[in-house]
Chain A
Amino acid sequence: MNALASLSPIYAEMFLLVMLCVILIVDQFIVNYTKTVTYLLTQTSLFCTVLILLFTHPTGITHLFNHMFVHDVMSYVLKVFICLSVMAMLLYSRSYLMLRGLFTGEFLALVMFATLGMMVMTSASNFLTLYLGLELLALSLYAMVALQRDSAIATESAMKYFILGAMASGFLLYGMSMLYGATGSLDINRIADVIQHGTPNKSLLVFGLAFIVAGLAFKLGAVPFHMWVPDVYHGAPTAMTMFIGTAPKLAAFAFVMRILVEALQPLMIHWSGMLAILAVLSMAVGNITAIAQTNLKRMFAYSTIAHMGFLLLGVLSGTIEGYGSAMFYAMVYVLMSLGGFGMIMLLSREGFEADTLNDFKGLNQRSPWLAFMMLLLMFSMAGVPPTVGFYAKFSVLNAALAAGHVTLVVMAVLFSLIGAFYYLRIVKLMYFDAPESHEKIYIQPDSSLLISLNGMAILLLGIFPNTLMAVCFVSVRDSLLH
C-alpha cells in the first residue's frame, strides 16, 4: 500500500497507459464505423487523467524512480493543459476525420500514446526519460501524419517529417552523449551541479550544447531548422496538423526548460546567444514568408515559426521573468492554434478542404459569428489588444527588455508588424470581400460550442489575463528555483 501511495505523482500517466490498452482492446471488439464508444472512452480517459492530476497536485518538487521522473508545479500545469488541448483537438476533428474515413481506433490510440509521451517529457528529470518521452511523441506523430495512406501528399510529408525528425533526434542524442562525457551523468540536476561546482571540459560541454540546441530548434521548428514545418503542416490532414501545432508545443517548452534551464543554466551565456540568432531568424523568415502563402495551413506553419521565435525570445532572456513569459506565450499560442485549425476543419466538408485563403472570403456574410471568432483569433495572433495574444507578446517583450536585449525587442516588434499584415488579410477576406460560395455552413453543435468558447477565451483572457499569467509565473518560479 505504501509503495503504491509513493507512486502517486505518476498516477495520471499510469492511468492513461492502462486506459490506452483498454481502448485498444475494446476497439477490437466493438465494430462500429463511427467509433462512438472508443471516442467517448478516450475523452473520458483524458478527462479522468485531468481529474487525477488535479487530485495529485504537487506540493514542492518530488523525484521518483531514482531521479528519473520529477513531479513539480510546472509539469503539473503543463500536463493539465496538454490533456485539455488534446481533448479539444479530438472534439474539433471528430466529424472532419469521420468524413475522410480516418477516425479509426488506431488514430485514437496514437493520440493517447502521443499524450503519454508528452506527459513523460514534461516530467523528465533525466536525459533518458526525456528522450523516451520525446520519441514516444514523435513516433506517434509520424504515424498519425501517415494515417491517410492513399494521399500522396500526406505520405510525402510523413516521410519528410520522419527523416528530419529522426535526424534531429540524432543531433539531440549526440549532444546528450557529449554532455554525459563531460559531466559523467545523465541526471539533469546532477549535470547542473557538476557544471557549476566541478571542472568539466568546457569545450566538450559547449560542443554538446550546440548539438542540443540544433536538435531543439529542429523540434520547435526554428529557422534555419524549419524546412519540415510548412510541408508537414500542409500535407498532413488538418486534424493531424492541429495536433502537431498545439499540445506538443507545450511539451517542447518543457523540454527546453528541462535541458537548457535546469541542466545547462550555467552555460546560459552560450545558449542565449545561439537562441538569439534562432529567434531573430525565425521571426524574420516566418513573418516574411507567410505573406506569400495562399494556403492557410502553410501560412499557419510560417506563423508558427514566427511564434516560436517569440517564444525563444522569452527563453533567451534567461530570467524567471523570461521563462514565465515564454510559458504564457506557449499556452496562448496553443489556444490560438486550436481555434485557427479548428476553423479550417469547421468550414471543410466532405471532399472539400477549406484551407486556402479564398475559402474565407465573405465569411461575415455566411456566418457573422464564425467570422467574429476568426477575427478575434487573427488579431490575437497579430498581438492586438484586447485579445490575449497581446499580453503574450507584452510579457515576452518586457522580459527581454528587462534582460537588456533592446535591439532584439525592436526587431521583434518590427517583424510582428510585418506579421500583422497577413493576419489582417484574413480579416479583410472575411469582412470586405464577397463570398465565393453561398453553401450553408453546417457545424456540429459540440464543435460550434467549442469554437465559441475558444474565441471568447481569447477575448476574456485578454481582458482578464491575471490568473493565467500568475499560474505560469508561479509554476516556473516554484519549479526552476532550487
Chain B
Amino acid sequence: MIFGYPLLSVAIWLPIIFGLLVLATGNDRNARLARVIALVGAVLSFLVTIPLYTGFDRLTSAMQFVVQNEWITRYNINYHLGVDGISVLFILLNSFFTPLVVIAGWKVIEKRVAQYMAAFLIMSGLVNGVFAALDAVLFYVFWEAMLIPMFIIIGVWGGPNRVYAAVKFFLYTLMGSLLMLVALLYLYHQSGGSFSILKFHSTPLPSMAVQVMLFFAFFMAFSVKVPMFPVHTWLPDAHVEAPTGGSVVLAAIMLKVGAYGFIRFSMPILPDASHYLAPVMIALSLIAVVYIGLVALAQSDMKKLVAYSSISHMGFVTLGFFLFNAYGIEGALLQMISHGFVSGALFLAIGVLYDRVHSRQIVDYGGVANKMPVFAAFFMLFAMANSGLPGTSGFVGEFMVIMGAVKANFWYAFAAASTLIFGAAYTLWMYKRVIFGAVANDHVKHLHDITARETLVFVILAVAVLGMGLYPLPFAEIMHASVNDLVVQLNTFKIPTPN
C-alpha cells in the first residue's frame, strides 16, 4: 500500500464498478453517456495501474503490493493479491488496452452500447484479478468469471456464425477449467489445507505419476486458453466472429492468461513433470509455430489469418517456457507483451477496413494504399512487427527465445527460426494483396482514410511497438529478478533422484 490505497484491489474493482455504472445507463437512448462513462472509467483504470510500474521494486522477486484478507474461512480461502515481475506487466498491458477497445468501438457499436462497454470494463477488471490473484480459488473465480462477458461479447456483437463460436469458446475453456479445479482441490489437500499459490510452489509432490496427472489437468486448462496445437480450433472461430474489440481483447489479453497459467501453476508446482514432459510440450509448440504458420499462409480471411498467426506466435511463448533457461522464459514473456501490442493493432487495423467495406476477405480488397495512405503506413508497421522485423517489438522476444533454444538444442532453434520466414510470408503477402496494386473495386474506390479517433489509437500502438522494439530494457529489467528466481525454482526438483 505504497500510494495510500490498495493498488491491486483498485485495479480490479474500479473497472468493474465503472462497468456497472455504464450498465445502469440503460438502453441505447443514453448511448452517448454510456460511451463517455466507459472511456472515463477505462482511462482512470489505466492511470491507477501506473504506480504499479513506477513503484515496483526491481531488485526482489518477492510478491509486491500484497493485499491479504480472509474470505472464505471454511476452506482457508483468502482474498490474497500480489504481483511479481512476471504478472505486473500483464496488468499494465490489460489496462492499457481497455481504453483502446472503448475508443475502437465508439462509433461502430450501435446496438446495446451500454452492455458492450460494460462487458469490456468488467472483463478488464476480472483479467486484472487473474493476474493479481495469489490464492488459487480467487484465481479460479476470476478465471471463470471472465468467460461470461467474453461469451456475451462474441455472441451478441459478433459475426454471422457467432453463436457457434461463442458456445465453442465457452465449452472448450470450461472443460479445461473444471479439470484444473480438481487439480487445485487435490493440491489443497496435499498442502495441508491451503489454497495459497505460493504454498503450492513448495508443496512436496514426491510421485511422478501424481505430478503427471496434475500437469495434465493444468495443461487442459491452460493449453486451451493459449491455445496450443491440438486444442486451438476454437480460436479462429471465436476471432472471426467476434467484434473488433472482442478480437483485440482475445488476442492481446486472453491468450496471455493461458501462458501465464503455465508459468504460475504448472511449471513451478510440478517441476519434475514439466521437465519430464518438456519434449512433448516443445514438440507441440514447434508444431504450432511451423504447421500453424503454414496454415496461416493459406487463409483467405484476414482475421483468420491473424488468428492463426497468433497461435503460431503463442507457440513461441510455450517453447520459450519449456526451455527452462532465463533467455527462453524472458524472451517468451517479452513475446507475450509484444504479441499483445501487435495482434491487437492488427485486429484494430482489420476492424478499420471491415467497418468501411464489411468484408474480411482478402480478395475484396486491393490498392487500399491509394485511398488510405496514412492507414497503409500504420498497417505496414504492424505487419512488419508481426513478421518480427528488428527494431519492432516482435523481434525482441523471438530473438531471445531462439537464443534460448540454441542453448537447449540446435534443431529446436532451427525449427523455431522458420517462423521468421513463414511469418514474413503470410503477413506481407496479405499486406501486399490488400494494400498494394490497382484499386480493386468500387468499395475500395470509395474508402476514406482513418479518422482522428482511429489515428489516435494507431499512434499509441505504433509508439508502443517501436518503443519496445528499440529500447526493450524497461520491459525486461522489471522481470529479471522474478525470472531468475523462477529458473532456480524450475530446476529444484521435488522428486529426489535415486543414487
Contact = CB atoms under 8 A, between A and B. Distances in A.
B174 A417 contact: yes
A432 B75 CA distance: 38
Interface in B105-133: 112, 115
Contact of B144 (A385, A416, A427): A385
B152 A397 contact: no
A144 interface: no
Contact of A401 (B152, B178, B185): B185
A274 interface: no
Contact of B151 (A401, A406, A427): A427
B409 interface: no
Contact of A428 (B72, B166, B181, B185): B166
A413 B148 CA distance: 19
A402 B189 contact: yes
A406 B217 CA distance: 13
Given A397-B181, A409-B182, A431 B141 contact: no
Main secondary structure of the interface of A (DSSP, over half): helix
B171 A421 contact: yes
B28 to A, nearest CB: 11
Nearest to B145: A386
Contacts of A424: 151, 167, 170-171
Interface in B152-210: 152, 155-156, 162-163, 166-167, 170-171, 174-175, 178-179, 181-182, 185-186, 188-189
Interface in A392-442: 394-395, 397-398, 401-402, 406, 409-410, 413-414, 416-417, 420-421, 424-425, 427-428, 431-432
Contacts of B185: 394, 397-398, 401, 409
B186 A401 contact: yes
A466 B73 contact: yes
A466 B179 CA distance: 24
A47 to B, nearest CB: 30
B189 A417 contact: no
B75 A398 contact: yes
A379 interface: yes
Contact of A417 (B156, B167, B171, B188): B171
Given A397-B182, A427-B151, A386 B74 contact: no
A473 interface: yes
Nearest to A402: B189
Interface in A294-338: none
B264 to A, nearest CB: 18
Given A384-B148, A470-B74, A394 B181 contact: yes
Nearest to B189: A402
A430 to B, nearest CB: 10
B74 A469 contact: yes
A125 B170 CA distance: 47
A181 interface: no
A390 B115 contact: no
A34 B156 CA distance: 42
B178 A385 contact: no
A401 B137 CA distance: 16
A368 interface: yes
B53 interface: no
B147 interface: yes
Given A386-B141, A466-B74, A410 B182 contact: yes
26 contacts: A364-B112, A368-B115, A375-B148, A384-B144, A384-B147, A385-B144, A385-B145, A394-B181, A397-B181, A398-B75, A398-B185, A402-B189, A410-B182, A414-B178, A420-B170, A420-B174, A424-B151, A424-B167, A425-B167, A428-B155, A428-B166, A428-B167, A431-B152, A431-B156, A432-B155, A466-B71
Interface of B: 26-27, 71-75, 112, 115, 137, 140-141, 144-145, 147-148, 151-152, 155-156, 162-163, 166-167, 170-171, 174-175, 178-179, 181-182, 185-186, 188-189
Interface of A: 364, 368, 375, 379, 384-386, 390-391, 394-395, 397-398, 401-402, 406, 409-410, 413-414, 416-417, 420-421, 424-425, 427-428, 431-432, 465-466, 469-470, 473
